[in-house]
A and B are shown apart, each in its own frame.
Chain A
């Protein structure tokens, strides 16, 4: 039977829960990191990614509204994350659109929800459902710790490749640069909220479970990007992967 963990134990357990299904292991991420994607593939990624991360402040706003006013610091952290996503500097989605345009797509195509895949629509819907329905602390664990905190490690691997192998300019890949810093702040705020407020065995276990599910959802999303847009041009064998390993 599970026992109540202290902060250090709980943090390690959260990190392990995310690590098990890290999106770094998806064929799309592997193809990206090895420089094998065409710009057209990256354009499709931008057209999908916009609809997953674009509403992030909306997801957080639902959580914010349901967080008790006694959790002042947690609410402040959520509000700071929302502000920084939207108006703290350049709007993050504008930088994503700039990258998409460098890949050959357009703002209109990126903003058009008809250009996202069914799986992306599923991921977006899951994010909304978690934000609206779960205990606020569990929702933060799922969306901020489970999803957003993964981003720095993914982009840290992908950003040098975008410059060195895909030959994008610094300005074109600014979306990825900023996320290494800002998502580190946002993810860390998420950890602080969860570590501070998941103070029962039941809440801790729910947080761990939703981190696992969140990481699975992100892996599902990136795997579908590969299948929907890349596989016909770049089979798994060209990435040194086997079908069974990806299915698992």
Chain B
């Protein structure tokens, strides 16, 4: 089973997941990396689940059209949308704080929708 290392706010959380797991699907049913993983729409749009791949990125497929559209230049910095990824191999990830995400990745329309 793939091992997942998930870093958030300087704390490392580790767990094992079944092969072909989607971490947003797992968080949606309150399994690791819940409650640490921030996510939102589950449809590659809000970017809340964006995380930087620290290790294991070579096992991931190329970014799909949604990741290219939402992440843009952040792809070059190693970011991926976890809602769009199914995990087959060990991986290490780091998710930014809400403040850093809002300043660097959050799409403009997402800001406009918030009350």
- Pick 28 A–B contacts, CB within 8 A, sort by A: A77-B29, A80-B28, A88-B41, A88-B43, A89-B40, A89-B41, A89-B46, A90-B41, A170-B66, A177-B43, A177-B44, A178-B42, A178-B44, A181-B22, A181-B24, A181-B25, A181-B43, A181-B44, A182-B41, A182-B42, A182-B43, A184-B25, A185-B25, A185-B29, A188-B25, A188-B28, A189-B29, A192-B29
Interface centre among A80, A184, A192 (most CB of B within 10 A): A184
- List residues of chain B with CB within 8 A of the CB of A178: 42-44
The answer, yes or no, to whether B38 is at the interface (CB within 8 Å) is no
- Which secondary structure dominates where chain B touches chain A? loop
- List residues of chain B with CB within 8 A of the CB of A242: none
The answer, yes or no, to whether B71 is at the interface (CB within 8 Å) is no
Whether A89 and B45, one on each chain, are in contact in the complex, defined by CB atoms closer than 8 angstroms, is: yes
- List residues of chain A with CB within 8 A of the CB of B66: 170, 177
A167 to B45, CA, bound (A): 23
A169 to B44, CA, bound (A): 16
The answer, yes or no, to whether B94 is at the interface (CB within 8 Å) is no
Whether A184 and B41, one on each chain, are in contact in the complex, defined by CB atoms closer than 8 angstroms, is: no
Task: Tell me the total A-B contact number using a CB cutoff of 8 A.
Answer: 51
Count, chain B residues at interface, CB 8 A: 17
Whether A88 and B42, one on each chain, are in contact in the complex, defined by CB atoms closer than 8 angstroms, is: yes
Residues from 6 to 58 in B contacting A, C-beta threshold 8 Å: 22, 24-25, 28-30, 40-46
Whether A90 and B42, one on each chain, are in contact in the complex, defined by CB atoms closer than 8 angstroms, is: no
- List residues of chain A with CB within 8 A of the CB of B74: none
- List residues of chain B with CB within 8 A of the CB of A80: 28
The answer, yes or no, to whether A233 is at the interface (CB within 8 Å) is no
- List residues of chain B with CB within 8 A of the CB of A135: none
User: How would residues 172 to 195 of chain A score, 1 for a CB under 8 Å from any chain B CB and 0 otherwise?
Assistant: 001001100110110011001000
- List residues of chain B with CB within 8 A of the CB of A177: 43-44, 66
Residues from 40 to 94 in B contacting A, C-beta threshold 8 Å: 40-46, 65-66, 83-84
- List residues of chain B with CB within 8 A of the CB of A134: none
- List residues of chain B with CB within 8 A of the CB of A88: 40-43
The answer, yes or no, to whether A84 is at the interface (CB within 8 Å) is yes
- List residues of chain A with CB within 8 A of the CB of B44: 177-178, 181
Whether A184 and B46, one on each chain, are in contact in the complex, defined by CB atoms closer than 8 angstroms, is: no
Known: A181-B44, A182-B41, A184-B25. 14 other contacts (CB 8 A): A84-B41, A88-B40, A89-B42, A177-B43, A178-B43, A181-B22, A181-B43, A182-B43, A185-B24, A185-B29, A185-B42, A188-B25, A188-B28, A189-B28
